[in-house]
Amino acid sequence: MIEHWIYYLIIGLVGILCLLVGYFARQLLANQQIRNAQNEAKKLLESAQSKYEQMVLEAKEEAVKVRAAAEADSRERRFELQRLERRSSQREERLERKLEALERRERSLIAREKEIEAIKIQIEEFKDKQLQRLEAISGMSSEEAKQQLLQAVEDEIREDASRRVREWEGRIKDEIDSKARDILATAIQRCATDVVSETTVSVVPLPNDDMKGRLIGREGRNIRALEQATGVDLIIDDTPESVTISSFDPIRREVARVALTNLILDGRIHPARIEEVVDKAKTEVDSTIRTEGEQASRKAGVQGLHPELLKLLGRLKFRKSYGQNVLTHSLEVAHIAGMLAAEIGANVTLAKRAALLHDIGKAVDHEVEGPHAMIGANLVKQWDKSMEVVQAISEHHGEATTTSSLGYILATADAISGSRLGARRESLDQYIKRIEALESVASSFAGVEKAFAIQAGREVRIIVKPDQVDDLAAMRLARDIVKKIEETLEYPGQIKVTVMREVRAVDYAR
């Protein structure tokens, strides 16, 4: 009985011990979980606090940026208002001065007119008195004296004219023979080329009128970017499905035409894309220039020209003289010179070579001072060893005394090509020189990066370097350029001077 009781006691003690062990184990596990939860909560609290501090810092930075942008915009508006006020006051002062000068001049003219009228009356009275005295002395009227004097002068002029005609007839018969007339007649008859007069504008067709708005861009940024990159004037008017490119420089106009055509085909039109397409268009036009030079050499039958001469020859494709395409004119002169040389037994190869290159100086005459014949002769002398060709080119316009038969042939062929009906329209040399002088004056100032004359010379746009010219300096530069243009150039009407300063900030997201 006692053994059973001990057995039950031991079992009870073991059970109590197990309960105690389980209780303490659960307490340890619960404490561990509480500590883990506390650690996790602490980490979450630290992360939330860090994110909160970061958000506060970003908000402060954004506020600083917004404030800086607002201040910059405010400053720019103040500068613009100040500039407009100054221009308005200056314009009013100029108008007042001009009005005063006009009033003074009007008063002076009125006084001069009165004096002139009084002098005219005195002269008429004196003339009548003298005429009456002369009629009384001569015994004939003024009409009779006039007829007698005219008859004497007419007899003298007729006698002198007859004598001069006889002298010139004898001189012409001595200097010109029938062979020369036959040669010229044959050459002119065989020269059957088309009219080559061209204009200084290019028209680019559009797929629809909606494309005009895309070319202009938001607030005109696309059209400004294209005009700045090419130096042309893009005219977008009411003409349906077309835009007009205007520039005195045909190479710039061709670059703009190619670039605009590619932009229309591509459809992506924005300032960055415009600059990329214009660079590609310049490369394409350079390739076209080389190709045109090589083709002209082949058409004229002139072989072995230096690559630099071919490149200069290709530039003549985009040059006009009196409305006549210079490259087409050079080919025409080469064919005529070959015919003349064949007729008189001269060297046909040299004649064609000299004729093809005779106007090559016009490719660079805006860069070098002097007549284009001498410029072309110096250029050809660098890359062509034939001194006969060089001499003929220098002689074809009379800047040098013509002494060689090749020079006479070239001058004759040039005259035939330029004087035939439909060859030339009007003189553009003075216009081009004025435009180039305008760009040269604008480019002569420090800080100017590019200068483009547009609107037929009525406006010049100057792009300055933003790191050298600030906003105030840009306004001073515009006034200085206007002053120099007024002092050094002669021009009709007025010229608008626009100075543009553009700042670009570029960064990359990685």
Q: What is the pLDDT along the chain (510 residues), one digit of tens a residue?
A: 566 677 777 887 877 887 887 777 777 887 888 888 888 888 888 887 888 788 888 888 888 888 888 888 888 888 888 888 888 888 888 888 888 888 888 888 898 888 898 898 888 888 878 777 777 776 667 677 777 778 877 777 777 776 777 677 767 766 665 566 566 555 554 554 444 434 456 788 888 878 888 888 888 888 888 888 888 888 887 778 788 888 777 788 888 888 888 888 888 888 888 888 889 988 988 888 888 888 888 888 888 888 888 888 888 888 777 667 888 888 888 888 888 888 888 888 888 888 888 888 887 766 677 777 788 888 888 887 778 888 888 887 766 666 778 888 888 888 877 765 455 544 556 777 888 889 999 999 988 998 988 876 778 999 999 888 888 888 889 989 999 998 888 776 678 899 998 877 777 787
Question: Beta 242-246 vs 201-205: how paired, if at all?
Answer: antiparallel
Q: Where are the alpha helices (DSSP H) in 444-494?
A: 471-488
The pTM of the full predicted model, rounded to 2 decimals, is 0.46
- The answer to whether 402 touches 394, Cβ cutoff 8 Å, is no
Neighbour tally for 302: CB within 10 Å:
21
Q: pLDDT tens for residues 440-463?
A: 999 999 889 989 888 767 789 999
> What residue type is 4 in one-letter code?
H
Which contiguous run of DSSP H or E holds residue 457? none
Q: What letter would DSSP give residue 444?
A: T
- What is the rounded end-to-end Cα distance, in angstroms, of the chain? 90
- The answer to whether 200 touches 247, Cβ cutoff 8 Å, is yes
Interatomic CA distance for residues 225 and 229, integer angstroms: 6
